[in-house]
Amino acid sequence: MDKVTSINEIQEKIQSIKKRSKGIILTNYYLDIPKHSSWIAKEDFFVWGTIDCVFFFKKKYSFYYLFFIGLDEKSIQNSFSQCPFKNEKLIIDIIGRADDGLKKIWEEIGFMQYNSLFRMVRIGIPSFTKIDKHIMQASFEDLIEIKKVLDKNFDSISEQIPDIEDLREILHSGGILVYKIYNSIGGFIIYNLSGMTLYLRYWFVSPEYRNMRIGSKLFNAFLEKGCLTKRQILWVLATNKNAITRYEHYGFTYENLYDYILINNYERKNNKHS
C-alpha cells in the first residue's frame, strides 16, 4: 500500500485501467482535483492495484473510504481478494439510482449495506422572513464546539463529518450560521452556496434549546443566504423520518438519487476473535 503522491499519479492509474478496457469501466471514483490534492497533502490517501483494478483508500477516523476503478465485476472481485487492506474497516459510497448494479457487486464480495441517503430538492427562489437577531456568522472560536457537536450527534460513517480544516474553509466562505444565546451556541446550520444552487449540509439545535423555534429560524436564515438561487438541495438519511417530514414541509421532494453506504465485515471478524 503506497501513499498517493500526486494528481498525475491518480490520472496515470486511471489511464492504465482505461487502456485495458474493452467496455465500460466500473467505478465509484470521480476525480476532484482540489479535494484530492488536499488528501494527498495530508498524506492519508493510499493506492493499491492490480493490472485490472485500482483501489484508493482515504483514511478517516478509524476506517478507510474505499474507491475502486475496475475493468469488470470479476477483476474487482479478484483484485480485492489480493488487496492487503481488505481486512481493514472499509466503507464504500455508491451513488446512483435505486437499482445500481455496483452495490450488488460489493454485496457479493461480502460488504453489507450500512445505511442509505437520498437527495431531496426544492425548486424555485426561496422565500424568507426577517432574520432573527441571535443568528450570526460563526467565528473561529465557535469551530471547536461545532466540531464536537458534529462528532457527537452525526454518524461519522454515513454523514461525512468535516474535519476542523474543512470547517475552517467553510467558515471562510461564510457557510456557517449560529444561533447564539448569551455566549452559547443554541444551534447552527452549515451550508454551501454554489452559483444558482444552495446546499444544506448540517442543521442542528442543541437538545436544551429545542421547542424554541431555533431550528426554523436558522432554516429561514439559510434560505435568505440562497435568495438568488433557483434550487436548494440536501441529502438525508433514509431512516431519519422526522427530518424528511420537516424537509417536505419546506417544499423539498425526493429525487431518484441514492447514496448507499456499504461496510465490510470488519466488525464481525473482530468480534469473533475478541
Partner 1 sequence: MKEKIISILNDLRPEFDFNEPFDFIKEGMLDSFDIINLVNELDSTFDISIDGIDVLPENFSSVDAIIKLLAKNGVE
Tell me if 257 contacts partner 1 by CB under 8 A: yes
Tell me if 264 contacts partner 1 by CB under 8 A: no
Tell me if 173 contacts partner 1 by CB under 8 A: no
* Burial of 180: CB neighbours in 10 Å, binned 0-12, 13-18, 19+: middle
Tell me if 24 contacts partner 1 by CB under 8 A: yes
Q: Which of residues 32-71 bind partner 1 (CB under 8 A)?
A: 32, 69
Contact window for partner 1 (CB under 8 A) among 158-166, 174-182, 187-195, 236-244: 187-195
Q: 69, 78, 67: which is closest to 15 by C-alpha?
A: 69
Q: 190, 166, 170, 160: which is closest to 178 by C-alpha?
A: 190
Number of residues that bind partner 1 (CB under 8 A): 33
Binder among 119, 147, 180, 201 for partner 1 (CB under 8 A)? 119
Binder among 112, 123, 144, 227 for partner 1 (CB under 8 A)? 123
Q: 131, 156, 140: which is closest to 59 by C-alpha?
A: 156
**Structural contact between residues 100 and 216, judged by C-beta atoms closer than 8 angstroms:** no
Strands 197-205 and 45-49: unpaired
Instruction: Give least dist CB 197 to partner 1, A.
Output: 4
* Rounded (10°) angle between helices 140-153 and 164-172: 130
- How many residues appear in the chain? 274
Q: 191, 198, 269: which is closest to 228 by C-alpha?
A: 198
Contact window for partner 1 (CB under 8 A) among 21-29, 36-44, 149-157, 200-208: 21-29
Strands 63-70 and 26-27: antiparallel
Interface characters, 131-170, with partner 1 (x: CB under 8 A): ----------------------------------------
**Residue numbers at the binding site for partner 1 (CB under 8 A):** 14, 17-18, 21, 23-32, 69, 95-97, 119, 123-124, 193-197, 229-231, 233, 255-257
